[in-house]
């Protein structure tokens, strides 16, 4: 227990701490609570994260660009107690590395933040709380994203312009997929099957699709609209370029 409390004091997230010590997360939390009740400071250290918008904090624009992509794809902000907001990113539980990555992005944007995860069937919800999430994601508002306007502020556009690949990575790893397409062609009189990969991005918000196309243009990746809600990248060199920029979902 002492070792777990020491790690907690050092800022190790509860989840990692629990894994390291082979106990449940709630056990770690209970240990911290017990100490706090006795007036001991264990696990009470808060790194105060400084907001880059309303205070003079620094913005890691690369991490922010990707987190913005994830937020627009599958994120949600809820309001918690005492003016604190929770940023939740939902992702398929099969993408273990991506789910770790989301936690890292959150820590880079909210320095000292302690994201935690909750698993629901088929999905991992990664959450971190902060009073300043509405400053960083002014698109936060009531209702579904596709039922309201999603317009980036100038500083957000500048972050994406500086890091379009990061933004695309967030978008394509949340609401995109890389699929194998196959077509049959006649070759020397015999049918031959050709298989080739393509990326597609599906989102019900026209504004978010437009942002995706804008970032693809910035990164010089050719795209086309393939259905009312889907953007497709299928030219061979464009697929290769997007593979290089965003990597595969993992």
Lay out the sheet containing 230-233: strands in order across. 176-187, 190-202, 230-233, 224-227
Task: Select 82 or 195, whichever has its Cβ closest to Zn ion.
Answer: 82
112-151 binders of Zn ion (CB under 5 A): 132, 135
Task: Select 130 or 223, whichever has its Cβ closest to Zn ion.
Answer: 130
Draw the binding track, 25-54, toward Zn ion (x: CB under 5 A; -: no contact).
--------------------------x-xx
Tokens 């010089």 — which residue? Answer: 220
Task: Select 51 or 213, whichever has its Cβ closest to Zn ion.
Answer: 51
Candidates 68, 226, 94; CA nearest to 158 is 68
Provide the minimum distance between the beta carbon of 81 and Zn ion in the complex, in angstroms, as a whole number: 18
Who contacts 144 (Cβ-Cβ below 8 Å, separation ≥6)? none
| DSSP 3-state of 128 | strand
Give the distance from CA 174 to its chain's centroid. 7
Provide the minimum distance between the beta carbon of 51 and Zn ion in the complex, in angstroms, as a whole number: 3
Provide the minimum distance between the beta carbon of 109 and Zn ion in the complex, in angstroms, as a whole number: 12
Calculate helix-pair angle for 164-175, 236-246, nearest 10 degrees: 100
Here the tokens at position 5 are: 């409390």
Provide the minimum distance between the beta carbon of 132 and Zn ion in the complex, in angstroms, as a whole number: 4
Task: Select 83 or 121, whichever has its Cβ closest to Zn ion.
Answer: 83
Task: Select 132 or 163, whichever has its Cβ closest to Zn ion.
Answer: 132
Provide the minimum distance between the beta carbon of 177 and Zn ion in the complex, in angstroms, as a whole number: 34
**What separation, in Å, do the N-terminal and C-terminal C-alpha atoms of the chain show?**
34
- Beta-carbon-side half-sphere exposure of residue 106 (alpha carbons within 13 Å): 27
Draw the binding track, 47-86, toward Zn ion (x: CB under 5 A; -: no contact).
----x-xx--------------------------------
Residues that bind Zn ion (CB under 5 A): 51, 53-54, 132, 135
């Amino acid at each position: 227990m002492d070792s777990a409390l020491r790690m907690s004091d050092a800022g190790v997230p509860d989840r990692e701490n629990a894994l390291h010590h082979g106990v449940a997360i709630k056990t770690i939390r209970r240990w911290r609570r017990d100490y706090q009740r006795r007036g001991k400071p264990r696990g009470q250290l808060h790194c105060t994260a400084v907001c880059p918008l309303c205070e003079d904090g620094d913005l890691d624009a690369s991490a922010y660009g990707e987190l913005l992509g994830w937020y627009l794809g599958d994120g949600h902000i809820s309001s918690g107690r005492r003016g604190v907001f929770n940023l939740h990113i939902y992702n398929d539980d099969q993408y273990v590395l991506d789910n770790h990555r989301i936690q890292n992005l959150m820590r880079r944007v909210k320095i000292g933040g302690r994201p935690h995860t909750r698993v629901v069937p088929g999905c991992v919800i990664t959450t971190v709380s902060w009073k300043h999430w509405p400053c960083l994601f002014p698109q936060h508002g009531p209702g579904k994203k596709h039922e309201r306007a999603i317009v980036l502020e100038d500083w957000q556009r500048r972050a994406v312009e500086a890091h379009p690949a990061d933004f695309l990575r967030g978008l394509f790893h949340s609401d995109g997929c890389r699929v194998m397409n196959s077509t049959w062609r006649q070759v020397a009189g015999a049918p031959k099957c050709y298989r080739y990969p393509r990326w597609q991005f599906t989102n019900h918000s026209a504004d978010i699709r437009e942002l995706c196309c804008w970032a693809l243009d910035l990164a010089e990746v050719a795209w086309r609209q393939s259905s009312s809600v889907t953007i497709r990248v299928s030219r061979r060199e464009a697929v290769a370029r997007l593979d290089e920029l965003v990597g595969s979902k993992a």
